[in-house]
Amino acid sequence: MGYEHIILFAGPVGAGKTTAISTLSEIPVVSTEAINTDFSISNKATTTVAMDYGQISLEEGHLIRLYGVPGQERFDFVWKLFQERAAGLVLLLDESAKEPLTDLDFFLDRFAGVLNHGVAVVGITRSELSSSKSLSACCTRLQQRRLKVPVFEVDARDREQMVVLLTALVSMVQMRETQLEAD
């Protein structure tokens, strides 16, 4: 019998959370996209206002439930709802954003609840749109914060890349659970 885990996708507006879940999910994604009314945050036509939901089965009947939360801080009450049950966090950051490291710090602080009882990975998206490279800067920032969080450069539209990122996270979840059982 396989296990079941809830994985939370978070990050700023436009980082690729809805796209990543759509890329990974084996079922039609439940999405709460609405017309974007705040173009000061993003030029996207639509934005998530409650959550996205999908799921994927891994080897041996393991079921991974994928929840994506809105990127706007005004929906932080939704963030809090999902943190307690999440075994892991996929934090997506937009490389082409003005301040990817500021976004990293902001979301790590806001999703500390998951980090306290779970594990995380960072996925840097849209690197093809930017001349700066945030991968090493993110790794340095995570080390400064004393967090052991792997960082991946990914295209949220590429299933293979997203499966690698998700598999790494699920492996970390399993290792953490094994350590907790041993203690």
Q: Report pLDDT digits (tens) over 119-176.
A: 999 999 987 655 567 788 889 999 999 999 999 999 999 999 999 999 999 999 988 8
What are the boundaries of each domain within the chain?
4-182
CA–CA gap between residue 151 and residue 132 (Å, rounded)? 16
Please give the CATH topology (third level) of the domain spanning 4-182. Answer: Rossmann fold (3.40.50)
User: Greater confidence, 38 or 104?
Assistant: 104
Mind listing the pLDDT tens digit for each residue in 64-110?
Answer: 999 999 887 877 888 888 888 899 999 999 988 888 899 999 999 99
Q: What does pTM read for this prediction?
A: 0.87
Taking alpha carbons only, the member of 142, 95, 91, 149 closest to residue 119 is 149
